[in-house]
């Protein structure tokens, strides 16, 4: 297994467009997390799945954001009607029941 994989690595979009990011976790991991990181800051929690169930969503996650993990494997994060303030690195991580979180390389979103 090659670790947590995120696609795309970079995305430039115009304001108002929709974007979707994909995360493939480590195969035996049942927990999956999405984080957002802006320059000079630590990762901020967005949402968390255990298998296919979305157990927690941050207040940071406005109605324009939606995440899914339909079969308890890969996950997608969609941002509708993007705004310049959405520009950030979006990080995905996964973990097993008792293990630590492993992070992907992230998707860097730039909204112009």
Partner 1 sequence: GDSVTQMEGPVTLSEEAFLTINCTYTATGYPSLFWYVQYPGEGLQLLLKATKADDKGSNKGFEATYRKETTSFHLEKGSVQVSDSAVYFCALSVGPSGTYKYIFGTGTRLKVLA
Pairwise CA distance, residues 8 & 44, whole Å: 20
Binding piece for partner 1, criterion CB under 8 A, among 14-22, 42-50, 70-78, 80-88: 42-50
Give the shortest CB-48-to-partner 1 separation in angstroms. 5
Give CA separation, 5 vs 2, 74, 78, 95, 100, in Å.
Answer: 8, 9, 17, 13, 17
Task: Examine residue 55 and tell whether it contacts partner 1 (CB under 8 A).
Answer: yes
* Interface ranges with partner 1 (CB under 8 A): 31, 33, 35, 40-45, 48, 50, 55-56, 91, 93, 95, 100-106
């Amino acid at each position: 297994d090659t670790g947590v994989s995120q696609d795309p690595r970079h995305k430039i979009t115009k304001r108002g467009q929709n974007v979707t990011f994909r995360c493939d976790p480590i195969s035996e991991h049942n927990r999956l997390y999405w984080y957002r990181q802006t320059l000079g800051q630590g990762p901020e929690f967005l949402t968390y799945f255990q298998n296919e169930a979305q157990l927690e969503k941050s207040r940071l996650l406005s109605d324009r954001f939606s995440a899914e993990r339909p079969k308890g494997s890969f996950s997608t994060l969609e941002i509708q009607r993007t705004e310049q303030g959405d520009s950030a690195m979006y990080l995905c991580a996964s973990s097993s029941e008792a293990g630590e979180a492993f992070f992907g390389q992230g998707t860097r979103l730039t909204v112009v």
